[in-house]
Amino acid sequence: MQARSFLDINRLSLEFKTRNGVVPVLDNVSMQLNKGEILGVVGESGSGKSVTAYSILNLNGNASTITAGSINFDGLLLHKPSSSLLRDIRGREISIIFQNPMSTLNPIRSVRDHLKDMLTAHAQSTQAGAEKKSLALLEQVKIRDPERVLDAYPYELSGGMCQRVVIALALACSPRLLIADEPTTGLDVTTQKAIMTLIRELALKHDVAVMLITHDLGMAAEYCKNIVVMEKGKVVEKGSVEKLFKAPEHAYTKKLIAATPTAQSELDDLTPDPMLIAKRLQITDDKILEVNNLHKLYGVKKGFSKKETFHAVKGVSFSIKRGECVGLVGESGCGKSTISRMVAKLDDLSDGHIIFDGEDIGSIKAKDFINSNMRKDIQMVFQDPSGSLNPRHTVFDAIVEPLKHLEKISDKKALHKRVLELCQQVDLDANLITRLPHQLSGGQKARVGIARAIAVNPKLVILDEPTSALDVSVQAIVLQLLEKLRHELGLSYLFVSHDLNVVRLFCQRVLVMCNGEIVEHGEVNDVFNMPTNKYTQALLDAIPHFSVNNL
């Protein structure tokens, strides 16, 4: 018999008590993890990967019960822990890096307080010694100027810095198992690379076992040795990275690998049976949108009378041809959302021109544009499919809004007919139209958002990270759907995204933004294969990727 692993989760089953009865969440989940190893737990939302990790530390709450199986952590049985054992183990033996670093840290406590708390709670240091140790920890996670950060409050730090602090906290007591629950979701790719490199380094140096929970196969491939693939509370496949990517056995693994956009894949490769798209759309030289020297300044209040201005967009010019899809990429804070909001006329510009369909709409104020007959020609699909739907409105209410107000249709039958037509266009089950947003899945919500945007037959649709909140397999379908709609309805897209792989396979041309300026633009293949700008190169370099050939 082989020696027991450092962490051994054996046939774990777990269920949650809910209003609609008992829901089984984990079913016979087994995984093993050794010291110094990084294990990737991969799966889409709701697959039970976080629940598995949380069950190690009993963080699932009172509604959950472990019905079968065991968790063995270096000889300690953690599936039926006493509260004193848990208190002892949490933070000291096993640490968690949570998903959202901003909300993991308590906003009213400084970094110093956080670290000191952790250190003294587990008797790792005296009150007096905590300071020195804290500084050492911050240096360990490569924070520049640790003295300043020690006195900072979470809101004064960027997302990447916060995550480093969270990692420092997790490492404060030299744990032997580190659970990283989507540690870089919501962070930029360059930051993601830095954080993941750091985690890998620490794992190797201190012989820490790391459980990396992620939905990003590319990341799992790049940083893990072994991978466990989960679907609907079950482990469907596990094995080494090499085996998994070269010869995936389970259908779900294959689907997941195919759906993840890589540097080589095409839009049709993402799903096993791609949508039939009649590629009849011809891109003409006729420009639907022309943006000239666009500026946006925000006034930031400093003190009583001082006002500083923040230059969010600094003289940006670009154009979109009729029928074309132009990608706009850049890291958070580069001004890409500001541009999309200005083009969508949801925000006023400070200077410059936006010429849409031959008319300068830049001079029209956003609040007057509502009454303009061009309002229906420019529509936007928002980033967060949940947040962009009114929680009190059913699917029907949501899609009918623009029809009522922009098309001025008031006949109930006509409205109903049009909504059903739209549902069919975006592949949304017509039975869902009486549902409320929280009763829908992420993909369904995204479809509602798209149906609402195309309801009034717009000429230009601004897609603001329309798939960033979706699972890869859903993203694949939504991207194909958008491509189909572009050809069927002759739409032009401005596609805002931080995911370069998606932009590459979805757009014809791309604009790379950095600090409010466009640093590079051109045909996607030219820009991605031969980037001339340093920033573009760094961005491309930071994308975690897997390619079967390199493994």
Partner 1 sequence: MKNWFRHTIYIFSENPVSIFAVILFLLYVTMALVGHWLVPYDPYLTNTDIALQPPSVSHWFGTDHLGRDVFSRVVIATRMDLGIAFSAVALSALVGCTLGSLAGYFGGWADQIIGRFTDIVMAFPLFVLAMGLVAAMGNTVENIIYATALINIPFYIRVSRSEVSVRRNLPYVQAALQSGNSHFRALAMHIFPNTLPPLMVQLSLNSGWAILNAAGLSFIGLGVKPPEAEWGIMVAEGANYMISGEWWLVLFPGLVLMMAVFCFNLLGDSLRDIVDPLRRT
Residue with tokens 């990967």: 49
Q: CB of 269 within 8 A of CB of 226?
A: no
Q: Which of 198, 346, 420, 538 binds partner 1 (CB under 8 A)?
A: 346
Q: Which residues contact 409 (CB under 8 A, 6 or more apart)?
A: 403, 415, 418
Contact call for residue 442 and partner 1 (CB under 8 A): no
CA 219, 224, 227 angle in degrees (round to 5)? Answer: 95
Q: Which of 32, 25, 35 has the alpha carbon at shortest distance from 55?
A: 25
Q: Rounded to 5 degrees, what are φ and ψ at 260? A: -80, 120
The minimum distance between CB 293 and partner 1, in angstroms, equals 25
Contact call for residue 375 and partner 1 (CB under 8 A): yes
Among the residue ranges 89-97, 131-139, 374-382, 490-498, the one whose residues contact partner 1 (CB under 8 A): 374-382
Among the residue ranges 37-45, 176-184, 230-238, 382-390, the one whose residues contact partner 1 (CB under 8 A): 382-390
Among the residue ranges 50-58, 118-126, 194-202, 367-375, the one whose residues contact partner 1 (CB under 8 A): 367-375
165: tokens are 């602090």
- The C-alpha atoms of residue 192 and residue 333 are separated, in whole angstroms, by 16
Contact call for residue 459 and partner 1 (CB under 8 A): no
- The C-alpha atoms of residue 290 and residue 269 are separated, in whole angstroms, by 33
CB closer to partner 1, 32 vs 379: 379
Q: Which of 73, 382, 506, 535 binds partner 1 (CB under 8 A)?
A: 382
DSSP characters over 66-101: EEEEEEEETTEE-SS--HHHHHHHBTTTEEEE-S-H
The minimum distance between CB 438 and partner 1, in angstroms, equals 5
Q: Which of 502, 527, 541, 533 has the alpha carbon at shortest distance from 515?
A: 533
The minimum distance between CB 216 and partner 1, in angstroms, equals 24
Contact call for residue 389 and partner 1 (CB under 8 A): yes
- Residues linked to residue 521 through DSSP beta bridges, in sequence order: 511
254, 255, 261, 263: CA torsion to nearest 10: 20
CB closer to partner 1, 56 vs 344: 344
Q: How many H helices and E strands in the chain?
A: 20, 20
Contact call for residue 402 and partner 1 (CB under 8 A): yes
Contact call for residue 497 and partner 1 (CB under 8 A): no
Q: Which of 279, 301, 413, 438 binds partner 1 (CB under 8 A)?
A: 438
CB closer to partner 1, 161 vs 343: 343
CB closer to partner 1, 88 vs 407: 407
Contact call for residue 493 and partner 1 (CB under 8 A): no
- The C-alpha atoms of residue 299 and residue 360 are separated, in whole angstroms, by 25
CB closer to partner 1, 222 vs 464: 464
Contact call for residue 380 and partner 1 (CB under 8 A): yes
**Mask: binding to partner 1, 161-180, rule CB under 8 A, as x and -?**
--------------------
**Mask: binding to partner 1, 184-223, rule CB under 8 A, as x and -?**
----------------------------------------
Across 182-233, the runs of DSSP E, i.e. the strands, are 209-214, 226-231
Q: Rounded to 5 degrees, what are φ and ψ at 469? A: -95, 10
Q: Which of 11, 246, 405, 534 binds partner 1 (CB under 8 A)?
A: 405
Contact call for residue 391 and partner 1 (CB under 8 A): yes
CB neighbours of residue 321 within 10 Å: 18
The site for partner 1, by CB under 8 A, has a size of 31
Radius of gyration of the chain (CA): 25
Antiparallel, parallel or unpaired: β 209-214 and 38-42? parallel
CB closer to partner 1, 184 vs 394: 394
Q: Which of 338, 379, 475, 497 binds partner 1 (CB under 8 A)?
A: 379
98: tokens are 């949570």
CB closer to partner 1, 11 vs 405: 405
Q: Residue 376 carries which side chain, given as an amino acid letter?
A: K
- What are the residues binding partner 1 (CB under 8 A)? 19-20, 344-346, 367, 370, 375-376, 379-380, 382-384, 387-393, 401-402, 404-406, 436, 438-439, 449, 452
